[in-house]
Amino acid sequence: MPDAGGTAATKAPHERDATIDGRGAWIAGCAALAVLSVSYGSPLLIVVGLKPITAGLGTIREVTSGAASLTWVGTGLGGILMGWLSERIGIRRIVMFGSVMIAAGLAVSAIGTVWALYLGHGLLLGLLGNGAMFPPLLVYVSRWFEKRRGTALALIASGQYIAGMIWPTVFEHAMARFGWQATMAGYGIVTVLLIPPIAALLLHPAPAHPHAATASALPQHRATLGLPPNLVLILLGVAGFCCCVPMALPQSHLVAFCSDIGIQASTGAAMLSVMTACAFVSRQFWGWLADRVGGLVTLMLGSACQALAIGGFLLTQDEAGLFAVSAAFGLGFSGIVPAYVLIVRELFPAHEASWRVPTVLFIAMSGMAFGSWFAGALYDHFGFYAPAFATGTVFNVANLAIVGFLLLRQGFRGGMRPAIA
């Protein structure tokens, strides 16, 4: 079979729309969105079940939150490996393998011991499972688009928020009726039944980029924003870590936080769904904006909105107020992660995307992991969540400083963007 970069006359029928920004691009994007809407339900099981899982294991929240942290670290680290593999054996096989690993990770976690929870979430669900989903799929979809790349990345990254809208309430009811272990095992079955058919039928090979040959011939030691390229990559990674620490706090601890202050767990789960619903809607706006002003400007604005919203959790414990703050937080943070992917694609050659994008995402997801674990540790020490939210605000300010520096290096040119690789 000819590759996806061949001419229309030689392509198989299902590959004839394999053109950049074409109909096939949107089919691939929607398929990736569907996959992530299922795969990203798996990390939410610990979020919704933090208190019953902690009680069932006879441990403290810091320990249970550690498993959630390992999921983020594993996903980021696995993305580097799986991104490399997907370039060689294809995105379909990688995604299908990842779905099986998610199911295996949830089955192992349901054994009911701390070591099983850590092994299941860190190695299977994270490194080999979601690591085969999010980072490789972002790179894959970015290869299908040029003019509307920001919009497309925002769309497929919204799979996380579709999962957040759908699954928390389902998980809360299932755990109340069947227990957290049965709910984990059951969702593993759902994952392995839904994802492989989508991957097999709809994740076709991405087209060859028209500038790929030219880019690969360019000198490899050029400057980026007037700095060494790898230094810019490190700065982006550190910025991602700093913004993902506060991003993790409500996503990992909102349900438990609500329960601690007398709000029912079901209401906390609904609050989490409202947050993710607002994130889904606003992420489409951030994608539209990114296509017009570029990744760095979008990142700066999104991070500033997140900083304001995270501070709101320090100011209210009223149910209505927390619904409002949760919605505002969702509106603010939703454009951040796709912006990092867009920035990498803007600043670096296309042929480097398969390792540069997962590297930045790994460092950023380490921030999610640290934020989730550290919030649990601070709660165990102080007995309430205010110190965690205050710490998150400090990290967010550090992110704004780094992004502001990079934006100044690029030059704030009234929305002018760097060339897209």
Task: Show the 3-state SS of 24-44.
Answer: HHHHHHHHHHHHHHHHCCCCH
Give the chain's radius of gyration (CA, Å): 21
Q: Find, among 195, 188, 197, the residue nearest to 103 by Cα.
A: 188
Contacts of 288 (CB under 8 A, 6+ apart): 150, 151, 154
Each of the 421 residues of the chain gets a pLDDT tens digit; together they read 334 333 333 444 444 456 788 889 999 999 999 999 999 999 999 988 988 999 999 998 888 888 988 898 899 899 999 988 998 899 999 999 999 999 999 999 999 999 999 999 999 999 999 999 989 999 999 999 988 899 999 888 888 878 877 898 899 999 999 999 999 999 999 999 999 999 999 999 988 765 544 444 444 546 788 899 999 999 999 999 999 999 988 887 888 888 888 888 788 888 888 888 888 888 889 999 999 999 999 999 999 999 998 888 888 788 888 999 999 998 888 889 889 999 999 999 988 888 999 999 999 988 988 988 888 889 888 988 889 999 999 999 999 999 999 999 988 544 445 555 5
* 36 DSSP β-pair partners: none
Domain locations along the chain: 23-410
b or e along 151-168 (b: 16 or more beta carbons within 10 Å of the residue's beta carbon)? bbbbbbbbbbbbbbbbbb
User: Is the separation of the CB atoms in 129 and 105 below 8 Å?
Assistant: yes
- Nearest-angstrom CA–CA distance, 250 and 393: 12
The reply to whether the predicted model has a pTM over 0.75 is yes
- Nearest-angstrom CA–CA distance, 370 and 347: 27
Domain boundaries 23-410, corresponding CATH code: 1.20.1250.20
